[in-house]
Amino acid sequence: MAEPALDLGWMRIFAEVGRTGSLSAAAGLLGLTQPAVSYQIRRIEEQMGVRLFRRQHRGVEMTPEGERLFDVVSRSVGEIDQLARRFRSETDRPAIRLRTDYAFSSLWLIPRMHGFRLLYPDTDIQIVATQRMERDLSDDGEVAVVFGTRGDYGRNGILLLPEKVMPVCTRGFLERHGPFDGIADLAQARLVHLDTTFPSPWHDWRSYFAAHGIDRGVHGGQGDISFNTYSLVIQAAMGEQGLALGWMGLVDALLATGMLARAGPELEAADRGYWLLRPERQNVLGTWLSGWLMAEAGVG
CB environment 177-203: b (16+ within 10 A), e (fewer): bbebeebbbbbebbbbbbeeeeeeebb
Q: What is the pLDDT of residue 5?
A: 63
Residue 1 has pLDDT above 50, yes or no: no
Please give the radius of gyration of the chain, using alpha carbons only, rounded to the nearest integer: 32
pLDDT in tens, 99-142: 999 999 999 999 888 888 888 887 788 888 887 655 555 455 68
pLDDT in tens, 266-282: 999 988 999 999 887 77
Residue 241 has pLDDT above 50, yes or no: yes
CA atoms within 13 A on the CB side of 3: 12
What domains lie within the chain, and their CATH numbers? 10-92 (1.10.10.10), 95-155+272-297 (3.40.190.10), 161-271 (3.40.190.10)
Residue 245 has pLDDT above 90, yes or no: yes
Model-level pTM? 0.66
Separation of alpha carbons 60 and 53, rounded Å: 6
What's the mean per-residue pLDDT of the chain? 86
- Closest by alpha carbon to 137, among 275, 299, 295, 284? 275
